A and B are shown apart, each in its own frame.
Chain A
Amino acid sequence: MSIQRFSLHDGPGIRTTVFLQGCPLHCPWCSNPESQPVHPVQRHARDKCVRCLRCVAACPSSLISPGPDGYPVFDRDSCQGCLSCEKSCPAGAISISGKQLSIREIMETVERDSDYYRNSGGGVTFSGGEPFMQGEALISLLEESAGKGIHTAIETCGQVPSDIIRRAYALTDLFLFDLKHCDGRKLKSITGADIDLILGNLAMLAGSGNVTVRIPCIPGFNLDSESLSGMFGIAVSMGIREVHLLPYHILGMDKYEQLQRQYSLPGEGLAKEVLEPYAAIGRSMGLNVGIGG
């Protein structure tokens, strides 16, 4: 997991975003691909690597081997995240995402900015990955935060068991609920998501009035009037008023290379203005549609 302070795009005000590791989906546009596995993951920046291969020697489980081009090759699935390779790297080319932190350690960091939250209408946001993948830890974090009077938000893809969402319900001030498509088949084939489960969870939360639907607008996937109208319709039918359209961006693209994975989407992000006509559709349906997080 990792923690980002002074986040401005994960809910209102000044926030600290806690990224929990693990996600049940595999959206190809994901800007935090390192957070998809539940276990820690090495990122390796080839442009910084000096090919000294000290990491090969440093790994206690022999999970790093020299590659044919002189760069190290990582067996990421078995990595325990002991940080030996990161520490051994003289060039700072290796970083482990998903370090283990205790609830207390996380809360210590979160609480350091409490007064900034209070003055700006901000708080803490739990994101990921999918934060409910570590459901029990998430519940503890929510309890701790709510107990300290810190505004809590959860960013979820909705692909999680309903009972855990229900438990989080009373402890959460705001759900930022990602809706990626209204077409179940398309959604399943591209992201692996189960639309029934997601919509069921969304419907359950919708009654609370503290849900914002967030739609990542991905060209070639859902950036068309029909898809967006469909998703707006879902929001309307559930009585949800707030919808944010998130323009496709490529800020996570470099991470794919660092994970030795292919990035399959366009190499250019979307300007906010492109989304205006779509936002207008939503507004005409009675929604408050914002562009950006």
Chain B
Amino acid sequence: MAKFNIETVQNVEISKKFPSEKTPLEQLEIMEQYTAVHKANLGSSKEMREARCLEVLYPRLFRHIQPQDLTAGRLDFLPIGFGCVTSLGGVGHYCVFRKLKTFREQLPESERARVDSLYEYWTHHDLKTVYNRETLQEGVLGMFIDTEYPMIATARLSGMMLDYPTLLSLGIGGMRAKIAEKLSESPDNEFLKAGLICLDIFVRSAEMLRQDAINQAVKANPERSRELLAMADALDRIKEHSPSTFPEALQLLWLYALLAGVINYGRLDDFLGPYLAADLREGRLDENGAYRYIRSLWTLIENRRTTVNGRIIVGGKGRKHPKEADIFLHLAMKVAKDCRYVEPQFTVRIDKDTPEQVWDEALDALGAGATYPTIYNDDVEVPAVAYGMRMDQATAAQYVPFGCTEFVIQGESTGTPNICINLLKILTIFMNGGIDPEDGIRKDGGVPIKPLSEYRTFDEFYKGYKRLLDFYLDLSAQAQFHSYEVMNRHVGFLFTSLLMKDCIERGKTLLDGGVRYLGGTNETYGNINASDSLTAIKDLVFDRKKYTLEQIEEALLANFQGYDDIRRDCLACDKYGNDLESADSMADDLYEFVAKGVRDRGIAIGMQYFLIVISNNQLNTEWGLKTGASPDGRLRGMYMNPANNPQGGADRNGPTAMLNSLARFDARYHAGSVQNIKFTPSMFNGHRDVIKSLFRTYFDRGGCHIMVTVVDSGVLEDAVKNPEKYPDLIVRVAGFSAVFVDLSPEIQQELLSRVLYDERKSLC
């Protein structure tokens, strides 16, 4: 076991969360009660323990309905509680020790000891800590997010997108009947018994919110009062019945998602479109009313502030109600354009049959600086998912990106990225005889590494690197799989399990054999720096023989200080992103080695799929800070390339060349790859037809995805200097959007380094 600090920051958190509505003492009481119930149920089944603990939290953690809400449901999170993801609360029965410590400071001195005993209890029971103790390995496998390590692991259940069509068609009453029926076959099934308790929790939560709506209606103006009473009626209905209107459907879905702790929402157009269409047709809603409901949903999602989640997906293949879904799609496009929030991460799936209007609306929203929608190419993704995840095309057509881009099959698969691997750091370790040049610690995992002088060909050198990668890829599959084992040992993720195929049918929770497709993902970083480094070594050492490997390594260890010539030559070597065969084929080769390596290992260990994602949040910058200088000319501590894009500034041949490079990777071997591009407004909006054909051609060529930032030149630079002038400036970081001025200086610099395509540059 490796030593680790349980107070380490566990995830990316840019957006600041709302403070709890409850007083610190109330919060403490809830956490104490939760802890007591957890302790009292240590001998119970994991399912029953979870259900009893959830009863402590809900409906108590609900906040009041806010004046702008048209759908009810906002939640507080405490440093101790239950959850699925690190973005909200924590995973399973969790304690976020760092936050608990901060919370302690808010209490009067006399009460602080109460926190200390909670802290002590949870050091033995926090799920992630349990996982870390069992899994982490000194030198090679660290915890999220400890960038000293070349690979990090966590236990979490990110990216779950539930089977909402089943929820909407059955309603809570129908779900109850379904569980009861199954329970009559196996009366001792703890999951099903606990599942019924969950539905009771749902009903109590709906009732509490209904009361809140009524209480507020009394004091509200007539218009707001009508809205609140409509909300109360909807809440009343969904306690038992399936929804009959769009607002009721939205309410059911939203409340369930909150209780399940899921933060990505899926193909809302297809689920909600029929309700919306019926309301519009029958005059219960007009277009403005529908817009307001969707806008309110946008605000609710934004206010959850998960930073890298909140996915809503519209459009694409495999929709069951395309006509009705498009009504939602068009309104959502308008909302996304008007709101310009960092969340929800609004996503459109397109294919060759997508109407022109959808393209135009998408480009309009992007041109307005919304950074949304992100666009996925179904013509590439659906067959790729079918291959990568080993399923038929119809199932694959239900893929949905979550988080930074990782795919799951809505309602049918897990896909949580519980591993991140830094390919570049591993290269610097390999070149330094197994020792990380950053801290002098051996991180070769016992893999024998020859001295650099002994490599006579590039292939030998590359093979040596691959051998070290193999060690890490083995470990990645084991650590991912083990995260499921540990989570399954302790929790059932009940609300999630109830709405994932085939948990109820099998009478098993998600990770206990319930979920139809047990998948997972592995986030790779430094891909392009690593491949550009290999390109430089091949060129300078083996093809042109200008330097020896030892000379290059000497320069790297000195961070190129005193080795200007070597750095200049390294930088001058061909770079990925310029549509050059040399650099692009190297990138592709390394990609395939890693991606296939991960996939094969996942299948071997017993997962439906384990695929890399070239997703990238801001870890490319943070990990770069702890990664030595590299043969691509990158200095020590410098950010690494973002996602699947070239290192900032390395692409010099314009957008067609960059996109040609991006389109190289075969999408079948990854479960999502982020492709960023940045334009000035005059370029993007002044040449809309050109931009459209640029993207379309890129998609024709096999490009799987594009995400776009439209920002004027000089604006980001000015925002660094005068942040107060830009409170609303939104940028696409990689797999998520953020208010630019909320980002750290290092991340701002990484964004600035990326090429901004401007029409003036093309004037000659």
Tell me if A194 counts as interface (CB < 8 A to partner B): no
CA distance A120 to B654 in the complex (A): 16
Residue of B nearest to A2 (CB): B764
What is the CB-to-nearest-CB distance from A134 to chain B, in angstroms, rounded to a whole number? Answer: 17
Tell me if A191 counts as interface (CB < 8 A to partner B): no
CA distance A205 to B398 in the complex (A): 57
The CB with the most chain B CB atoms within 10 A, among A7, A17, A32, is that of: A7
Count A/B pairs, Cβ under 8 Å. Answer: 72
Q: Which of B572, B689, B696, B764 is the one whose CB lies under 8 Å from A9? A: B764
What is the CB-to-nearest-CB distance from A86 to chain B, in angstroms, rounded to a whole number? Answer: 10
Q: A13-B693, A90-B564 are in contact. Are A119 and B764 (CB under 8 A)?
A: no
CA distance A116 to B565 in the complex (A): 38
User: Could you tell me which residues of chain B, from 544 to 592, have a CB within 8 Å of some CB in chain A?
Assistant: 564-565, 568, 572, 579
Tell me if A239 counts as interface (CB < 8 A to partner B): no
| Interface of chain B: mostly helix, strand, loop or mixed | helix
Tell me if A4 counts as interface (CB < 8 A to partner B): yes
What is the CB-to-nearest-CB distance from A35 to chain B, in angstroms, rounded to a whole number? Answer: 9
What is the CB-to-nearest-CB distance from A159 to chain B, in angstroms, rounded to a whole number? Answer: 19
Residue of B nearest to A86 (CB): B572
Contact assessment for B701 and A115 in the assembled complex, using a CB-CB cutoff below 8 Å = yes
User: Could you tell me which residues of chain B, from 665 to 704, have a CB within 8 Å of some CB in chain A?
Assistant: 687, 689-690, 693-694, 696-697, 700-701
Tell me if B655 counts as interface (CB < 8 A to partner A): yes
Residue of A nearest to B695 (CB): A119
Contact assessment for B763 and A116 in the assembled complex, using a CB-CB cutoff below 8 Å = no
Q: A14-B693, A115-B701 are in contact. Are A8 and B687 (CB under 8 A)?
A: yes
Contact assessment for B656 and A32 in the assembled complex, using a CB-CB cutoff below 8 Å = no
A residues near B700, Cβ cutoff 8 Å:
115, 119
What is the CB-to-nearest-CB distance from A157 to chain B, in angstroms, rounded to a whole number? Answer: 14
Contact assessment for A112 and B697 in the assembled complex, using a CB-CB cutoff below 8 Å = no
Tell me if A84 counts as interface (CB < 8 A to partner B): no
Residue of A nearest to B698 (CB): A116
Contact assessment for A4 and B693 in the assembled complex, using a CB-CB cutoff below 8 Å = no
User: Could you tell me which residues of chain A, from 96 to 150, have a CB within 8 Å of some CB in chain B?
Assistant: 112-113, 115-116, 118-121, 127
One digit per residue, 1 when the CB lies within 8 angstroms of any chain A CB and 0 when it does not, for chain B 145-174 equals 000000000000000000000000000000
A residues near B572, Cβ cutoff 8 Å:
87
Contact assessment for B697 and A120 in the assembled complex, using a CB-CB cutoff below 8 Å = yes
Contact assessment for B690 and A112 in the assembled complex, using a CB-CB cutoff below 8 Å = no
Contact assessment for B760 and A8 in the assembled complex, using a CB-CB cutoff below 8 Å = no
Contact assessment for A17 and B690 in the assembled complex, using a CB-CB cutoff below 8 Å = no
B residues near A87, Cβ cutoff 8 Å:
572
Residue of B nearest to A249 (CB): B763
Residue of A nearest to B655 (CB): A6
Contact assessment for B660 and A4 in the assembled complex, using a CB-CB cutoff below 8 Å = no
User: Could you tell me which residues of chain B, from 630 to 686, have a CB within 8 Å of some CB in chain A?
Assistant: 653-657, 660
A residues near B655, Cβ cutoff 8 Å:
6
Tell me if A82 counts as interface (CB < 8 A to partner B): no
A residues near B653, Cβ cutoff 8 Å:
5
Contact assessment for B762 and A4 in the assembled complex, using a CB-CB cutoff below 8 Å = yes
CA distance A112 to B657 in the complex (A): 8
Contact assessment for A31 and B759 in the assembled complex, using a CB-CB cutoff below 8 Å = no
B residues near A293, Cβ cutoff 8 Å:
763
User: Could you tell me which residues of chain A, from 1 to 48, have a CB within 8 Å of some CB in chain B?
Assistant: 4-10, 13-14, 17, 19, 31-32
User: Could you tell me which residues of chain A, from 173 to 207, have a CB within 8 Å of some CB in chain B?
Assistant: none
Q: Which of B565, B654, B697, B762 is the one whose CB lies under 8 Å from A115? A: B697
Tell me the B residues contacting A by CB distance below 8 Å: 564-565, 568, 572, 579, 653-657, 660, 687, 689-690, 693-694, 696-697, 700-701, 757, 759-760, 762-764
Tell me the A residues contacting B by CB distance below 8 Å: 4-10, 13-14, 17, 19, 31-32, 87, 90, 92, 112-113, 115-116, 118-121, 127, 249, 251, 293
Residue pairs across A and B with Cβ atoms less than 8 A apart, 18 shown, are A5-B654, A6-B657, A6-B762, A7-B764, A8-B687, A9-B763, A9-B764, A87-B572, A90-B564, A112-B579, A113-B660, A115-B697, A116-B697, A120-B690, A120-B693, A251-B763, A251-B764, A293-B763
Beyond A9-B763, A120-B689, 16 additional pairs, beta carbon < 8 A: A5-B653, A6-B657, A6-B694, A7-B762, A7-B764, A14-B656, A14-B694, A19-B764, A90-B568, A92-B568, A112-B656, A112-B657, A115-B697, A115-B701, A116-B697, A119-B700
Q: Lowest 7 CB-CB distances: which A-B pairs, in order?
A: A6-B654, A120-B693, A119-B693, A5-B654, A119-B697, A116-B697, A113-B656
